[in-house]
Amino acid sequence: MSLSNELKELVFKSVELLGMSIKDIYGPKLYEEIESLRLKMKSVRQEEADVVHKALEEVYSKYKKAGTPELHKVAKAFSLMLEVINACEAAYRTYRLQDTNLAYDKKPDSLVYVFTSHPTEARSKEFLFLTDQVEDLLILALQRSFDEISEDLYHLFQVALRIPFANNKRPEVRDEAEQIFHTVMDERILSEQIELKKKGVRVFFRTWVGGDKDGHPKVGPVTLLQTLTLSRHKILEFIDHRLTHFHAELKLFGLSEKRIDALVRALKLDSRSLKKISDNDGKRVLRFKKNILTLVALAEEHKVLSPSLGDMKELLKLYPALVLPMEIREDSTLIHDALKNPQPIARMLKLIKKISNGLDPRYYVRGFIISMCQKPEDLMAAVELVTKQMGEFLIPAVPLFENEQGLRNSINILSQTFHKLPIIKEHKSRWQGRLEVMLGYSDSSKENGVLPSRLLVEEALLNIEALLLKHKLVPVFFHGSGGSTGRGGGSLKEQIAWWPKSALNIYKMTIQGETIQRHFNQGPILRSQVSKVVEEFAKYREQKFIRPKIADQFAGLIQNSYRNLVRDPDFQEMTSEATPYDFLNLLKIGSRPTKRNGKGKFTLRAIPWILCWTQTRLLLPIWWGVGIAWSELTSEQKKELKAYHSNSPLMQSYIKNLGFTLARIELGVWEFHLNHSHLSQESKNLWSEKIRKEYELTVKFFEDVSDQKNFTWFQPRLGESIEFRSSMIHPLNVIQKISLERNDHVLLRETVTGIACGMLTTG
């Protein structure tokens, strides 16, 4: 199914209105120049790489002479165009999905979304707030008419042209939490969460912003308390609005009941005192909740069945401590150290115990995640630290298996811990036998390549499930895939197609920056995301399929090729010269450092590593090694691998994600970046030939295995969307190169953010 005419018309009218705004703010001369550039880029849409490269060189020759103010305006114009297209698509999805229902008898136990900050924060706070308003207007245009909203939309575009598009200061942890809560704790989203619960689908929100200590020097007890307090304010605001509405209803009914009036006033007073979280907060929250339930009971006595009170009652079940619960995380090495020396993570655990007094600490913090858990002692150290700091084992220790060593050693880690500590007994007595394990996709992909990573995760997932069921435990799998293809994502259906039923029954997933904006900004879109999980759970059929040796052999070839590339000093030099790698510390995309502690220059975290290759439009880490591995197989082995693809949901998911990746690659843009690097001509020629050859072999693999020529045959409208926006990103690539040459960090951030918006993923 291709893009609807209704959506195309909305994009056309919106972009036309943006053009009018550009003409008014920047003047007719610059508008004509921008429009001429847009048409030039449109003319090379779907052209061969050499044609695109030549066009970019022409644009570069012209704009390298331009003044900095002009370049900023041109970059802003194209970035806004891409954001407008995104907003139109989001508005259309909301409009189309308004009637989504959950018409399935079988429903999963719960869906849990854990929000992380990376990397939407590359856009300024002001711009994100403006985007929300634009999206709301576009939804109204679809419901009524574009003419009704054009004046207001025109005004917002004029404002957008005057405010910063990207952050020019690194966000603090508080900034990241505020931006996430602005979206996911909006009254409309909280109301949707409540409605889903009424329909029998429990959807829970979590975050580890403010509690993710792993490698983050600014995270500690202060940020933990700060983040909890910010979410408390949002929930109290929701309750206060419902109390005010209920009080107004009573007046309409002509009902004046002293006990009810007194309770409403007391609750409003208490809500003000609850805004500050301190020691024994749990006891104060417990008293507040009892008063709400008393109010509900009194209202029912008087036959006042107010939806406002019903919403408050349901909200207490979703947020029993009146905060959005957090996850905390620390590196395994520092957990060992915290047992002997003072560490922030130890103080964080102690703080949780103090503030939660009166309630279950897990209402505030759900679990303690052990980053880089690679041996049994890592898990046991975390259990010991929780017990030492909290007096009891009050929150679970969750091992994170995120690299090859951890994933392959996961069964031994769990088995040894079960043998040496009373973990099984603790989980059965405290948490209904639920035992949680987190699986890392992004770091394993960065280390091994995407397909080898998926096979490692699949094997660990199935083995861990079998082990936990053997011990009569309920498996809870926390998937750290984030959303983007390079980190383990793709469409929701493709992500979950190969999971066992236990992973769907309690569905838990990290959701990163730009995915939060796309899927949690409007109630109908959230409902649609939830309905997809419910549908897959309801239709689930047990599949027993033994993975053939050829799958692991093929993945091994990819892994070796990918690792050899990343370790190659010449590749590292090329990456430094031909991508923004060396400038990522200037981007202000998040409060977390872009690199992990460790020896060597190439220590980027997974998100900025993928961002680096997204900016150059090559997306190399996702597909490198696939083509050469396929070419090395015999005819019989290729036949076996194709048979595996026809039976394996994981392989089918991988092929579709690979197609999505190949559809977004622009070799002409990459050649432009390479050509303007400081490498010798010999090196440029070598890398150009090497990458083109691997790309062509990868395309051959895709076509042979999928029997498709169209990269996005499974979702044609996705391919059409990529096609329309792709050439509009080109000017930003050129201006980015100029910004690097001029050492203009502000312009660099503007282009990086604009390219990320156009590519629909930043990391």
The predicted-structure confidence for 229-267, as pLDDT tens digits, reads as follows: 999 999 999 999 999 888 887 776 665 667 788 888 889
Stretch among 95-99, 155-159, 210-214, 404-408 having the lowest mean pLDDT? 95-99
Give pLDDT, residue 488.
46
| pTM, entire model | 0.91
**102 has a pLDDT exceeding 80:** no
Who wins on pLDDT, 439 or 125?
Answer: 439
Give the pLDDT mean for 195-204.
94
Q: Which long-range contacts (CB under 8 A, 24 or more apart) does 387-393 make?
A: 388/339, 388/346, 389/346, 389/349, 389/350, 389/353, 390/349, 390/350, 390/352, 390/353, 390/361, 391/353, 393/426, 393/430
Q: How far is CA 294 from the centre of its chain?
A: 40
Enter the DSSP assignment of 171.
P
- 751: tokens are 């282009």
**Across the chain, how many H-helices and E-strands are there?**
35, 8
- What pLDDT score does 99 carry? 77
Q: What is the DSSP string of 494-523?
A: HHHTTS-HHHHHEEEEEE-HHHHHHHSSSH
Q: Which residue in 142, 239, 27, 166 sits closest to 589, CA to CA?
A: 166
Least confidently predicted of 59-73, 581-595, 602-616? 581-595
pLDDT for position 121: 46
How does the average pLDDT of the chain come out, rounded?
89
Cβ atoms of 731 and 59 within 8 Å: the answer is yes
Cα 674 off chain centre by:
30
Taking the C-alpha atoms of residue 416 and residue 399, their distance in angstroms, rounded to an integer, is 13
Query: How many Å is the Cα radius of gyration of the chain?
Result: 27
192-220: average pLDDT:
92
Range from 25-39, 103-117, 274-288, 296-310 carrying the lowest mean pLDDT: 296-310
Among 617, 623, 621, smallest CA distance to 580 is for 617
Distance (Å, whole) CA 423 – CA 428: 9
Q: 37-41, 188-192, 377-381, 538-542: which range is least confident on average?
A: 538-542
Provide the 3-class DSSP secondary structure of residue 158. Answer: helix
Q: Helix or strand or coil: residue 205?
A: strand
Q: What DSSP string describes 55-98?
A: HHHHHHHHHTTS-HHHHHHHHHHHHHHHHHHHHHHHHHHHHHTT
The model's confidence at residue 418, banded by pLDDT at 50, 70 and 90, is very high
CA dihedral 135, 139, 142, 148 (to 10 degrees): -80
CA distance 338 to 502: 34
Distance CA 651, CA 639 (A): 14
Tell me the per-residue pLDDT of 622-658, one tens digit each, with 9 for 90 and over.
899 999 999 999 999 999 999 999 999 899 989 999 9
Round to whole Å and give the CA distance between 206 and 200: 19
| Alpha helices per DSSP H over 568-666 | 569-578, 606-615, 620-623, 626-631, 635-647, 649-664
Q: Rounded to an integer, what distance in angstroms lies between the CA atom of residue 745 and that of residue 733?
A: 15
pLDDT recorded at residue 581: 80
Rounded to an integer, the average pLDDT of 36-62 is 95
Amino acid identity at 755 = I
DSSP-assigned letters across all residues of 527-592: HHHHHHHHHHHHT------PPPHHHHHHHHHHHHHHHHHHH-HHHHHHHHHHSGGGGGGGS---SS
Element (H or E) spanning 366, and its range? Answer: strand 365-371
Residue keyed to tokens 């704790």? 185
Residue 525 · residue 94 · CB < 8 Å = yes
pLDDT tens per residue across span 700-752: 999 999 999 999 999 888 888 898 889 999 999 999 999 999 988 889 888 98
Range with the poorest average pLDDT among 17-31, 241-255, 305-319, 665-679: 241-255
Q: Is 447 exposed, middle or buried (0-12, 13-18, 19+ CB in 10 A)?
A: buried
Summarize the confidence of residues 39-51 as an average pLDDT.
94
Burial of 638 (0-12, 13-18, 19+ CB in 10 A): middle
Buried b (16+ CB within 10 A) or exposed e, 497-535: bbbbebbbbbbbbbbbbbbbbbbbbbbbbbbbbbbbbbe
What pLDDT score does 415 carry?
A: 98
CB-based burial, 373-385: b 16+ in 10 Å, e otherwise: bbebbbbbbbbbb
pLDDT at position 24: 96
With a CB cutoff of 8 Å and minimum separation 6, the contacts of 678 are 577
Q: What is Dmax (Cα atoms) for the chain?
A: 87
